[in-house]
């Protein structure tokens, strides 16, 4: 049973959106990379822009020995190195840093949680003791342990209507490694909290252009009327990375690209692009439509997988002039590994709107450049009026939603070249966020942390959404079985993937669209 939503807002549509209720944010994994690179810089920017509550505290929880002062200094250096601003205002930093404190403790030590409870109880505002956001920037294997310990220490309880205070738990991916493990983890988390208190992060959902997909689709009649099988021939979603696995070889050997990227990021984007209009902008109505869309994806049987899914693995090559080694030569990688670093697949959505329209999804590492985009190709016009013009080069109309970098939207259509001949050329109308709204685009974690404090779950993933996505991925992995990679599934670093991925589209007389590099 789905809990009643706590918010009626649509993220990104309100000017000056602010988390108004006083609260304390407890970051587990305060010594980790994510905290210094993303979380504290995001909170700092929210503070400087007046979007944090008037009263707030941030408590870092980790095993290493630190003082409040030493942790604050580490976080300041992190902001200077990783944030979107080039400098830190000394006065603003000091005001912000006064709200930061560090609590040393082992995640499995009950006394450490008792000490944390004591520290929170000492805050001068009672709401800072009761309104709590627990951010679990730790290994997923410890999520259940931390939730159990928080409940035992009296810091986390199931929310009941009429409660004067609230607690929320924010968890990072990976959320399980298959359907069974995700279900076990979900069951563990809701022992001591309701589903609506669990905020599962996919940072892609915090990106401005991803959020804008709904506004683009449902507020523009010229596009919404075309957003169906009658007008659209096919859709491509590409998320390319120009880096290899680096130091994450051990993790990648367990996960692979299918679990690491396809199960969450790409299926999330797909659900927003293809879902039906929700009846309202309430978080649960939006998430209901996303789940319905994922459940409409045609089942991945072994036969479908063999025909419609391609794996790939990079070998040595060059990316932007930089020599890269092969995946099997990476640190902590089996020299005979068959783990995929690239996945391309063709999906069909079996509902009225999208019946028969193929959706092509691909993602991979060590590709030529970093880019994320949605490419919608419309059906061509009948070749009647210009049939006699043999040399006429007519291209299908296409709409591209560029998610990163250089966020924007472009529309391709045919235009006549000036002159006496009938010569056409594809032309583009382009909307860029920087040009229209200025260079400022909030970091994904800024939006996500703000929504977690405000209790708006729209940009977070619900339990049934996670489990439905795992059902799709598990079907693909079962179809692969123990079959080794073929020669057509290897690709050189710096190329756009294996030959088999091109074959996948060639079978339908389509080709992959190559994303434009960043400016």
Cα 166 to Cα 101: distance, rounded to the nearest angstrom: 21
Residue with tokens 């580490």: 74
Alpha carbon 246 to its chain centroid, in Å, reads: 20
Q: Which of 265, 430, 510, 513 is catalytic?
A: 265
Give the three-state DSSP class for 386: coil
444-to-14, 23, 43, 130, 396 alpha-carbon distances in Å = 16, 21, 12, 27, 33
Query: Which H or E element spans position 505?
Result: helix 499-506
DSSP 266: I
Instruction: Copy the structure tokens of residue 75.
Output: 């976080």
Q: Say if residues 40 and 130 touch (Cβ distance below 8 Å).
A: no
499-to-253, 261, 314, 435, 489 alpha-carbon distances in Å = 23, 21, 12, 37, 7
Does the annotation mark 265 as catalytic?
A: yes
Cα 264 to Cα 267: distance, rounded to the nearest angstrom: 6
**Of residues 187, 221, 214, 233, the one with CA closest to residue 377:** 233
Q: How many CA atoms lie within 13 A of 167 on its CB side?
A: 19
Phi-psi region of 16 (alpha: psi -120 to 50; beta: other; left: phi over 0): left
**Of residues 320, 313, 366, the one with CA closest to residue 499:** 313
The gap between the terminal CA atoms of the chain, to the nearest Å, is 47
Cβ-Cβ contacts under 8 Å for 326 (sequence gap 6 or more): 314, 315, 316, 493
Q: Say if residues 272 and 210 touch (Cβ distance below 8 Å).
A: yes
Residues identified as active-site: 265
């Amino acid at each position: 049973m789905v809990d009643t939503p706590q918010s009626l807002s649509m993220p990104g549509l309100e000017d000056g959106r602010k988390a108004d209720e006083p609260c304390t944010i407890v970051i587990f994994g305060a010594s980790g990379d994510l905290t210094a690179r993303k979380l504290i810089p995001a909170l700092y920017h929210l503070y400087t822009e007046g979007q944090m509550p008037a009263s707030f505290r941030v408590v870092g929880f980790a095993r290493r020995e630190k003082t409040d002062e030493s942790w604050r200094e580490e976080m300041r250096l992190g902001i200077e190195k990783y944030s979107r601003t080039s400098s830190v205002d000394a006065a603003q930093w000091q005001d912000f840093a006064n709200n930061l404190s560090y609590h040393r403790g082992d995640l499995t030590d009950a006394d450490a949680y008792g000490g944390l409870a004591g520290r929170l109880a000492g805050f001068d505002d009672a709401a800072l003791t009761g309104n709590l956001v627990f951010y679990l920037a730790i290994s997923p294997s410890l999520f259940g342990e931390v939730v159990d310990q928080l409940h035992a220490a009296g810091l986390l309880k199931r929310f009941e209507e009429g409660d004067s205070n609230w607690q929320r738990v924010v968890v990072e991916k990976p959320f399980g490694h298959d359907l069974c493990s995700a279900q076990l983890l979900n069951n563990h988390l809701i022992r001591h909290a309701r589903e609506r208190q669990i905020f599962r992060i996919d940072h892609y959902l915090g990106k401005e252009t991803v959020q804008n997909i709904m506004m683009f689709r449902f507020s523009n009649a010229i596009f919404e009327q075309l957003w169906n099988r009658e007008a659209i021939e096919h859709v491509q979603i590409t998320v390319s990375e120009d880096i290899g696995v680096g130091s994450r070889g051990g993790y990648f050997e367990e996960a692979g690209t299918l679990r690491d990227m396809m199960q969450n990021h790409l299926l999330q984007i797909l659900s927003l692009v293809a879902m039906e209009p929700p009846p309202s902008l309430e978080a649960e109505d939006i998430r209901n439509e996303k789940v319905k869309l994922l459940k409409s994806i045609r089942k991945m049987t072994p036969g479908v997988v063999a025909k419609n899914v391609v794996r790939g693995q990079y070998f040595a090559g060059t990316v932007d002039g930089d020599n890269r080694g092969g995946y099997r030569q990476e640190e902590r990688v089996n020299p005979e590994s068959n783990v995929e670093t690239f996945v391309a697949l063709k999906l069909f959505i079996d509902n009225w709107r999208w019946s028969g329209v193929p959706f092509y999804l691909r993602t991979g590492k060590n590709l030529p450049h970093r880019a994320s985009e949605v490419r919608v190709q419309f059906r061509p016009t009948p070749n009647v009026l210009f049939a006699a013009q043999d040399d006429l080069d007519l291209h299908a109309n296409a709409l591209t939603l560029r998610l990163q970098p250089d966020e924007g939207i472009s529309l391709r259509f045919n235009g006549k070249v000036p002159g006496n001949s009938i010569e056409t050329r594809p032309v583009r109308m382009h909307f860029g966020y920087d040009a229209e709204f200025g260079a400022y685009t909030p970091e994904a974690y800024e939006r996500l942390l703000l929504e977690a404090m405000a209790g708006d779950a729209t940009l977070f993933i619900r339990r049934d959404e996670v489990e439905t996505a795992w059902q799709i991925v598990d079907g693909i992995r079962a179809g692969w079985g123990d079959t080794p990679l073929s020669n057509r599934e290897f690709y050189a670093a710096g190329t756009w993937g294996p030959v088999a991925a091109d074959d996948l589209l060639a079978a339908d007389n389509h080709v992959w669209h190559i994303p434009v590099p960043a400016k």
